Amino acid sequence: MRFWKIPRCLIPSSWFIPCFRISSNHENRRNKKYMKTVITNGKLILEDRVLEGFDIVLEAGEIQRICPSEQTDKTDAQVYDAENDYVMPGIIDIHSDMIESYIQPRSTAIMDFSMGLREAERVLAGCGITTMFHSISMFREGAWDVKEIRQAPQVRKLAGLIAGYRHEERLIRHRYHLRYEIDNLACYDQVKEMIENGCVDLLSFIDHTPGQGQYKNLEIYRKHQPNEGRDLSEEAFDALVQSELEKATVTFEQLKDLAEMAHSRGISVASHDDDTVEKLEVNERLGVAISEFPITMEVAKEARKKGFRTVVGAPNILLGGSHSGNLSALEAIREGAADVLVSDYYPQSLLQAVFRLFQREGIPAWEAVRYVTLAPAGAVGLADRFGSIAEGKQGDLLIVRSENGCPALKKVFVAGACILDCHYRKAD
């Protein structure tokens, strides 16, 4: 048994402070006594309703039965009492670059990749995330935002490590989301090789050219630059913008080849920062199915009309708007223009945003939960096995208490195994 000090970012605002226990799959395998797990006395958040008076029976990593509590056979089972708290599917985050800060915490400090992922997954488990798509951009050499972790050799190393985790003992499921910057001509063949080698689970095309997309407002572009960029004179800044506008990018045909290669392997393809309807039409021809962070409400609504899955950020909801001055995620949800919530850069935001949606915005609990479970699962082709509480699906589940309108995570199950167990006590 191992105990870990809970990160400060996970401490609820109430006067309860948790101690929690994290179990590895190895530890769970040692406990062969319990071949069956039962979760009882919970409010089950299903795809279309909240169900009470029913138990979840887990066996062989899957949800075997959902049955009335009085009919559950608890013989030789490990029983978890949810104590009338919520039971929901594990969170699936298809876009987050939080791993960057665990591997490169300073511009000149690169930590061991395996250590960084091990440390990160404990925090992710504590956020209720059971499947994480680590999303690191592959920048061209010489780009102004080219941290070392975003250079091709490091990106390939991380992607390969994550691919290998499918065969190792891990707390949560790790996947890799390759964000390909379309001005990175030098690495085009490397992207193809990564897809061929099974190192990519989600592919997105990104254009960070100023004057469009995320940086339609050049003042936002300037603020997002490193310190040396923000200190440029007006003339030097104008020259930088002009050079970025004149840079070469991969062709439509090259992007289509990548998209078709991804599709042939069951990999979804996304676009990033769509800012015009015309760009959506280009993405349709490319075979893109996901629109990440559309810039305006008009584009978000049109994307949904065209059948794209639209993605917005959970931090946007907690902050009350976009940190880049673009579309409000909450407004997009209110207008029916958003499908999926992602953490982007702050994993703690997902569970918090879900509870804010159904406890403050009046959105039904099951609908709020779908934004971080079934909807992302559907976007990346995993909805047949993940994303909802249903018989035959993987036993990735959370037990969550509501504390003064905020979520307090109690237990996390991955493939039917309890990998995190929080026990709350009164603070000293």
- pLDDT tens, position by position, 89-101: 999 999 999 999 9
Give pLDDT, residue 172: 97
Q: Is the pLDDT of residue 193 over 60?
A: yes
- Do 114 and 126 have their domain in common? yes
DSSP for 218-231 reads HHHHHHTS-HHHHT
Give pLDDT, residue 244: 62
Give pLDDT, residue 299: 96
No. of helices (H) and no. of strands (E), the chain: 16, 20
Q: Per-residue pLDDT averaged across 237-264, rounded?
A: 82
The structure tokens 């996947």 sit at 175
The whole-angstrom separation of Cα 272 and Cα 269 is: 10
Q: Is the pLDDT of residue 217 over 90?
A: no
- Do 231 and 267 have their domain in common? no
18-22, 44-48, 121-125, 276-280: least confidently modelled range: 18-22
Q: For residue 268, list its beta bridge partners.
A: 202
60-69, 175-184, 238-247, 332-341: least confidently modelled range: 238-247
Give pLDDT, residue 12: 40
Give pLDDT, residue 24: 54
**Domain count across the chain:** 3
- Do 36 and 130 have their domain in common? no
Q: Is the pLDDT of residue 10 over 90?
A: no
- Do 369 and 358 have their domain in common? yes
Give pLDDT, residue 416: 96
**Whole-number Cα distances in Å, 92 to 129, 130, 323, 374, 375:** 6, 6, 23, 8, 9
- Do 288 and 334 have their domain in common? yes
Q: Per-residue pLDDT averaged across 243-267, rounded?
A: 88
34 touches 76 (CB < 8 A): yes
- Do 223 and 315 have their domain in common? no
Give pLDDT, residue 428: 81
The whole-angstrom separation of Cα 359 and Cα 343 is: 19
Of 226, 246, 266, the one marking the end of a domain is 246
The whole-angstrom separation of Cα 137 and Cα 72 is: 48
- Do 286 and 187 have their domain in common? yes
Q: Per-residue pLDDT averaged across 68-75, rounded?
A: 94
Of 379, 396, 417, the one marking the end of a domain is 379
Report residue 207's pLDDT band, with 50, 70 and 90 as the boundaries: confident
Q: Is the pLDDT of residue 239 over 90?
A: no
pLDDT tens digits along 23-37? 555 445 444 444 799
* Percent of residues, the chain, with pLDDT higher than 90: 70
pLDDT tens digits along 108-160? 899 999 999 999 999 999 999 999 999 988 876 656 556 788 888 999 999 99
Q: Per-residue pLDDT averaged across 271-298, rounded?
A: 95
Q: Per-residue pLDDT averaged across 272-279, rounded?
A: 92
- Do 55 and 104 have their domain in common? no
- Do 148 and 263 have their domain in common? yes
Report residue 107's pLDDT band, with 50, 70 and 90 as the boundaries: confident
Q: For residue 417, list its beta bridge partners.
A: 414
Of 198, 225, 246, the one marking the end of a domain is 246
- Do 370 and 411 have their domain in common? no
3-state helix, strand, coil in the chain (%, to 5): 35, 25, 35
Give pLDDT, residue 80: 98
Q: Is the pLDDT of residue 424 over 80?
A: yes
Q: Per-residue pLDDT averaged across 371-376, rounded?
A: 98
Report residue 366's pLDDT band, with 50, 70 and 90 as the boundaries: very high
Report residue 248's pLDDT band, with 50, 70 and 90 as the boundaries: confident
The whole-angstrom separation of Cα 371 and Cα 83 is: 25
Give pLDDT, residue 17: 40
Give pLDDT, residue 238: 64
| CATH code for the domain in which residue 141 is found | 3.20.20.140
| CATH code for the domain in which residue 397 is found | 2.30.40.10
Q: Indicate the average pLDDT of the chain.
A: 87
- Do 318 and 410 have their domain in common? no
Give pLDDT, residue 25: 52
Please give the sequence-ordered ranges of beta strands (E in DSSP) within 154-307, or none if there are none. 173-181, 202-206, 268-272, 290-292
Report residue 209's pLDDT band, with 50, 70 and 90 as the boundaries: low
What residues make up the domain containing 44? 3-89+388-426
Report residue 221's pLDDT band, with 50, 70 and 90 as the boundaries: low
Q: CB-based contacts of 51: which residues, under 8 Å, 6+ apart?
A: 43, 44, 66
43-57, 173-187, 375-389: least confidently modelled range: 173-187
Q: Is the pLDDT of residue 329 over 50?
A: yes
Q: Is the pLDDT of residue 384 over 70?
A: yes
Q: Per-residue pLDDT averaged across 394-412, rounded?
A: 95
- Do 240 and 326 have their domain in common? no
* Percent of residues, the chain, with pLDDT higher than 70: 81
Q: For residue 36, list its beta bridge partners.
A: 59, 77
Q: Per-residue pLDDT averaged across 166-183, rounded?
A: 93
